[in-house]
Amino acid sequence: MLESKQLHTDGIINDEQLNAIEQHEDNKLFTIQWELRTILYLGILLLTTGIGILVYENIDTIGHQVVLVTIVIACSACFFYSFRHRTPYTNEESIHPSPFYDYIILLGCLLFAILIGYVQYQYGLFGTHYGIATLIPAVLFFFCAYLFDHKGILSLGITGLAAWVGLTVTPMQLLQSNNFSNGTIILTAMGLGVVITAFAKFAEIRNIKKHFSFTYNNFAANILYVATLAALFDQPLKILSFLLLAACCAYFIKYAIDQHSFWFLLISVVYGYIGLTYSVFSLLIDSGTGGEIRIMFFSIFYLIGSCAGVIMFFIKYKQILGIKK
């Protein structure tokens, strides 16, 4: 609207053209797709959460068999509908037959996870082999993600795979629920991140569900960055840890440029800045060459330079990503 008024002021368009543009803008339709999708996803999560609370609070009166049968019936109904109405498999992105199709598949997978967890908790189906209780749902999730072309279920599969190897990778618990001072956890996280990244690259090269690449790399990037930073902070081989962090930053910055992704560029710069800042000050303190006054002045200039760098980053990020508009 402001542009059209400026064009009118400059005499480029006349009053009639300005009115036509304003009427078009006032009557233009806008999409509420993401709002509806968010509401539907929240509905599925609230439904599964409510089922869990209902079972927990009324298990003595409902009975285990009734709960199991109910979950099995609901889960089977979801999968029956999903298989009946699915489109033929393709390596390209699929268009689902119904706007509710995604959420029925998601509900079926979540109910299956509840079923496995409930059977394991109540009856000890897998004994002390708790990893099987996470591996089986993860395998099913990956299968359903590719068969039904569902990114949400793919995220569940990656989370289940991480749980199987001993990691918690949900965004809020990545740092809280994992003991990253443990070298084994760090190596496990690095290994998982590398495997996920390599598979995502392989799938891109072979043109197998290339639109899944963002989901794979998003998990892999955060896992690798947190693991390498943890190694940098707590492990003795700090030079090696810094080089690994730099390699991760280089790879995902290149990926961000190739995909024109501001998200991957942003997290790479943030994680890289944290690692660089820690390394610089750690080296300065450990060398013993700088007193408190020197470190204080260096900190001030470093902070000023960093702020200038952040400003330039936000000004030039489109040029870095090769975005013309």
Q: Using one digit for the tens of pLDDT, what is the confidence trace for 2-19?
A: 566 666 676 666 777 667
Q: Any residues with CB less than 8 A from the CB of 234 and at least 6 apart, and which?
A: 180, 181
**pLDDT score of 58:** 64
Query: What is the C-alpha separation between 131 and 104, in angstroms, rounded?
Result: 27
The answer to whether residue 57 is domain-embedded is: no
Dihedral (Cα; 92, 98, 103, 107), 10-degree rounding = -100
Q: What is the largest CA-CA distance in the chain?
A: 80
In angstroms, the CA 230 to CA 219 distance is 17
**Has residue 44 been placed in a domain?**
no
Give the tokens for residue 106: 């998601």
In a domain, 17, yes or no: no
Q: Give the per-residue pLDDT at 291.
A: 64
| pTM for this entry | 0.77
Q: Please indicate, yes or no, if residue 84 is contained in any of the structural domains.
A: no
Q: Residue 241 is part of which domain span?
A: 185-325
Asked if residue 18 belongs to a domain, the reply is: no
Rounded Cα–Cα distance for residues 141 and 153 (Å) = 6
- Examine residue 12 and state whether it is found in any structural domain, yes or no: no
Task: Name the burial class of residue 226, with classes exposed (0-12), middle (13-18) and buried (19+) by CB atoms within 10 angstroms of its CB.
Answer: buried
Number of structural domains found in the chain:
1
Cα–Cα distance, 262 to 268 (Å, whole number):
10
Specify whether the CB–CB gap between 144 and 107 falls below 8 A. Answer: no
Handedness of CA 258, 259, 263, 267 (dihedral sign): negative
* Within a domain: 193: yes
The model's confidence at residue 32, banded by pLDDT at 50, 70 and 90, is low
Whether residue 230 contacts residue 180, with contact meaning beta carbons closer than 8 Å, is answered with yes
Own/partner long-range contacts of 140-146 (Cβ < 8 Å, ≥24 apart): 140/109, 140/112, 141/109, 144/82, 144/105, 144/108, 144/109, 145/212, 146/89, 146/209
Provide the angle, in degrees to the nearest 10, between the axes of the packed helices 64-85 and 101-123. Answer: 150
Helix ranges (H only) for the chain are: 2-9, 15-27, 33-62, 64-85, 101-123, 130-148, 151-165, 183-205, 213-234, 238-259, 262-287, 292-321
What is the arithmetic mean of pLDDT over 227-255? 91
- Mean pLDDT across the chain, nearest whole number? 81
Q: What is the pLDDT of residues 91-148, one digit of tens each?
A: 988 887 776 788 888 889 988 988 888 888 777 777 777 788 888 999 999 999 999 9
The pLDDT, as a whole number, for residue 212 is 94
Residue 174 in this model has a pLDDT that exceeds 70: no
pLDDT (tens digit, 9 = 90+) per residue, 262-289? 899 999 999 999 998 888 888 777 766 6
Is residue 163 included in any domain, yes or no? no
